[in-house]
């Protein structure tokens, strides 16, 4: 682990957060067993990047604000930005990122992104606040991208792992095109009832994308063994992703989505973009609970 990671613990769970991206980089149980990705560089070195102010790819490599194009990277710049550490205690850490000259070159707005991590019994609560200090509405997207260990460290076979949705999910899924944008066509849901039986071949063509998602939580793991309950009360979309053969699966609650294929409109008009009212804020929460 890096020396500058911020660590919190309550005896039931321990977490480590990297100020680079305010990225949750480790989550362990009381015995020190890792619940997150091993970040194997053969597959993906990310752990739990925060996606802001865009999710996924833009169709042109830029966002358009009042007719002007601003180049922006996939998933935005927050994951590559160093956050300030503004609060720490044994069980809580709070990070913040504000606009500067570099961010305004990609996203010409004043903003403040605050991320609070807090351990409460067997739950890690992650609370994000997008603050708009300006007198005009602030357009943005935000997404979580945590990668959980697959298999979880409880001796169960990888093929036995399931993701079970809280609600029925009757709709078809979005398709990610080869350029990373959202295709016009959709794909049939692979769910068996409310259950996704995890297998590498589900992810041959990128992530599974529920848009919208009816559930506000999912359960991940093996029936009868310790598992994770993952709650996302504020996000209307969900991605699930891995690279075939990797030792992780990402459960990604999103308040936004990649551009539709060929989109060249204003950022404010992009599907999935929300607006934070002038001098207001938007709160987006996620929690991870170890059960059993």
Pairing of strands 281-291, 227-231: antiparallel
Report the pLDDT value the prediction gives residue 121, as an integer from 0 to 100. 98
DSSP 218-256: EEEE-TTS-EEEEE-TT-SEEEEE--TT-SEEEEEEEES
Report the pLDDT value the prediction gives residue 3, as an integer from 0 to 100. 83
Angle at 53 between CA 57 and CA 1, to 5 degrees: 90
Report the pLDDT value the prediction gives residue 1, as an integer from 0 to 100. 53
pTM over 0.85: yes
Average pLDDT per block of 10 residues along the chain, 292 residues long: 90 98 98 97 98 97 98 98 98 98 98 98 98 98 98 98 98 96 97 98 97 98 97 98 98 98 96 97 98 96
DSSP 121-173: TTEEEEEEEEE--SSS-EEE-EEE--EEESS-SSS--GGG-EEEESS---SPE
What is the C-alpha to C-alpha distance for residues 163 and 250, in angstroms, rounded to an integer? 11
The CATH number that domain 6-291 falls under is 2.70.98.10
How many Cβ atoms sit within 10 Å of the Cβ of residue 239?
27
Q: What is the DSSP letter of 192?
A: B
Report the pLDDT value the prediction gives residue 50, as an integer from 0 to 100. 98
Angle at 160 between CA 240 and CA 215, to 5 degrees: 40
Report the pLDDT value the prediction gives residue 132, as an integer from 0 to 100. 98
């Amino acid at each position: 682990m890096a020396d500058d990671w911020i660590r919190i613990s309550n005896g039931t769970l321990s977490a480590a957060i990297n100020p680079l991206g305010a990225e949750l980089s480790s989550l362990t149980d009381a015995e020190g067993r890792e619940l997150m990705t091993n970040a194997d560089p053969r597959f993906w070195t990310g752990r739990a990047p925060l996606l802001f102010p865009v999710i996924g790819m833009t169709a042109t490599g830029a966002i358009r604000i009042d007719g002007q194009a601003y180049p922006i990277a996939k998933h935005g710049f927050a994951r590559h930005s160093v956050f300030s550490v503004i609060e720490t205690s044994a069980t809580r850490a709070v990070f913040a990122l504000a606009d500067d000259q570099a961010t305004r070159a990609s996203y010409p707005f004043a903003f403040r992104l605050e991320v609070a991590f807090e351990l409460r019994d067997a739950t890690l609560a992650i609370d994000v606040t997008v603050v708009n200090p300006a007198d005009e509405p602030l357009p943005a997207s935000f997404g979580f991208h945590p990668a959980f260990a697959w298999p979880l460290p409880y001796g169960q076979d990888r093929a036995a792992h399931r993701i079970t949705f809280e609600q029925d999910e009757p709709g078809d899924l979005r398709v990610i095109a080869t350029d990373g944008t959202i295709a016009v066509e959709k794909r049939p849901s692979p769910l068996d009832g409310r259950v996704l039986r995890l297998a590498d071949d589900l992810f041959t063509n990128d992530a599974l994308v529920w848009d919208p998602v009816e559930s506000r939580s999912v359960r991940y793991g093996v029936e009868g063994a310790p598992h994770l309950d993952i709650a996302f009360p504020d996000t209307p979309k969900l991605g699930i992703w891995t690279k075939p053969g990797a030792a992780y699966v990402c459960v990604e609650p999103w308040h936004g989505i990649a551009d539709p294929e060929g989109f060249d409109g204003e950022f404010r008009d992009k599907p999935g973009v929300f607006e934070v009212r002038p001098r207001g804020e938007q709160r987006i929460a996620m929690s991870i609970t170890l059960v059993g």
